[in-house]
Amino acid sequence: MAFNSSSLFAGRFVMSFARMFFLSALCSTMKFAQPFFVSAFCLSLVTVSAAQSSSTVQGPPHGFTQIAQLTTSDDSQGYFGAAAAISSDGSTVAVGIGGGGWSRDHCAGSVYVYTKPASGWTSMTETAKLTASKENENNCLGVSVAISADGGTVVAGALAAHSGQGAAYVFVKPASGWTSMTETAQLTGSDAYQGMGTSVAMSGHTAVVSSAGTTPAVYVFVEPATGWTNMSQTAKLTSSLSDSPGFGGKVAIDGNTIVVGGCSGQAFLYVEPKNGWTNSTQTARLALQGASSDSVAVSGNTVVLGYPGLNGGNYPVGAAFVFVEPANGWTTMGPTATLTASDNGEEEWVGWAVAVQGDQVFAGAPCTDDGNGLPCQGAVYEFIRPSTGWTTTSTFSAKAVATNPVPGELGFSVAYGGNFLLAGAPYGTLGVAYLFGPSN
């Protein structure tokens, strides 16, 4: 890839690499493709002192209006909003903070939970703060988060727990509602070596946790009939390929389908066997012809892979790739459609984070500057499936942007549930998570 050399480029690259412990854990100890190193630079060097911005969404036919900004009551340092999840009904939000500096020397981390008031979402601080029982152990809790459909269970990655082996922490809502608490259970890999908890996902009673260290693997945990308890995996998912760099960098699950991202020009898809999850290699590979699957999402028969490093000439503009399950089931295949943004400028990184539900795809673009000269204010693009099915396009349906822009990297994390769009912007003064509701 060719890049415009400038002091801004160099400064943003160096600072972002230092900030990105949770991603560098994926790749610093393994053979990793070029896209990671170039994608890291989009994180902003700029420090802002302005008040958090308001946001809006541009573009017909669908649209969203900002309805809330979610912040913390304790002004915690640590890039709040780098990981975020929302329940399927849109009633509960979980936002990870991961720990200041993203380093194992200062990374206790935490997860903040927000519940929708009876009168509807409004700007607010957290309902509850979730922490590790050994808070001073520098677990990097909250580097990744997932939430159950009903908002009653949160799973959070803690990739530096247990001296770097990592783990995922499960928090179950008490009968009286969410309150500040420590974990209900810890999920560990029986043979995990490093970085477990890099990415987490949840669907029903199943949690998926990646370990993207020097021996990458993905672990599946099925909740016991008696409820979540400290446990090792139900099944271990691996690649059949001898060399799968970046395997497990991102994971997603919906029902009986798990998708695992990687850096080797493909993602890996697993379908649950009739008798339940068991140790296995992939059902199919989703090929990207040299691109890496830096973000992944799945809904029903649709998988979306984001590759923010896709070159748009001299600059990485990014894209989201859509895969639709064939009539006879998943098989190794290329993308059904490629989604880019018609207003792409330089270095937008579309696809840094992705989400999909039904006929809607959302792609975060945290380095969008919208032509106003502020680097990395960020945006989220929405794409709607045409009545004839997904096809390659650069026409988006809506774009969430900050109307009073700051370089906060809106779209660094993206989630969707209950007609609400959630977008993290971890590089404002202290970070913020934006909630958008439909405007029509």
Q: Which helix (H) or strand (E) holds 231?
A: strand 231-232
- Quick one: which of 204, 132, 134, 210 has its CA closest to 169? 132
Question: What contacts 306, CB < 8 A, 6 or more positions away?
Answer: 293, 294, 295, 296, 318, 319, 320, 321, 350, 351, 352, 353, 354, 363, 364
- Quick one: which of 345, 350, 346, 245 has its CA closest to 307? 350
Residue 304: both structure tokens together? 């979306």
The per-residue pLDDT for 289 is 76
The per-residue pLDDT for 319 is 92
- CB neighbours of residue 184 within 10 Å: 18
Q: Which helix (H) or strand (E) holds 19?
A: helix 7-19
CA distances from 196 to 63, 158, 382 (A): 37, 7, 31
Burial 58-95 (b: 16+ CB within 10 A, else e): ebeebbbebbbbbbbeeebebbbbbbbbbbbebbbbbb
Residue indicated by tokens 């972002």: 16
DSSP three-state, residue 147: strand
User: What is the C-alpha to C-alpha distance for residues 157 and 196, in angstroms, rounded to an integer?
Assistant: 7
What amino acid is encoded at 249 in this protein? G
Q: What angle do CA 305, 311, 316 make, to 5 degrees?
A: 85
Residue indicated by tokens 């009545």: 387
Architecture per CATH, 7-438:
7 Propeller (2.130)
Q: Read off the pTM.
A: 0.86
The per-residue pLDDT for 291 is 76
Residue 273: both structure tokens together? 């066997």
The per-residue pLDDT for 135 is 60
User: What is the C-alpha to C-alpha distance for residues 383 and 416, in angstroms, rounded to an integer?
Assistant: 13
- Strand bridging mode 319-324 / 337-339: antiparallel
User: What is the C-alpha to C-alpha distance for residues 439 and 398, in angstroms, rounded to an integer?
Assistant: 11
User: What is the C-alpha to C-alpha distance for residues 16 and 4, in angstroms, rounded to an integer?
Assistant: 17
Please return the burial class of 157, using the count of CB atoms within 10 Å of its CB with bins 0-12, 13-18 and 19+: buried
The per-residue pLDDT for 44 is 26
User: What is the C-alpha to C-alpha distance for residues 252 and 207, in angstroms, rounded to an integer?
Assistant: 10
The per-residue pLDDT for 423 is 95
The number of angstroms, rounded, from the C-alpha of 246 to the middle of its chain's C-alpha atoms is 15
- pLDDT per residue as tens digits for the range 10-20: 333 333 333 33
Rounded to the nearest 10°, the torsion over CA 274, 278, 279, 284 is 30
Contact 207, 154 (CB under 8 A): no
What is the radius of gyration, based on Cα positions, of the chain? Answer: 19
The per-residue pLDDT for 392 is 97
User: What is the C-alpha to C-alpha distance for residues 157 and 149, in angstroms, rounded to an integer?
Assistant: 18
The per-residue pLDDT for 137 is 65
Q: Could you tell me the strand order of the sheet in which 217-222 lies?
A: 196-203, 206-211, 217-222, 235-237
Residue indicated by tokens 């206790």: 108
- CB neighbours of residue 34 within 10 Å: 12
- List, for the chain, all residue ranges whose pLDDT scores fall below the cut of 70: 1-62, 75-78, 98-106, 135-137, 290, 312-314, 344-347, 370-373, 402-405, 440
What amino acid is encoded at 439 in this protein? S
DSSP state letter for 151: S
> For the chain, how far is it from start to end, CA to CA, in angstroms?
41
- pLDDT per residue as tens digits for the range 35-80: 222 233 222 222 222 233 334 444 434 577 888 999 999 866 568 9
Contact 261, 305 (CB under 8 A): yes
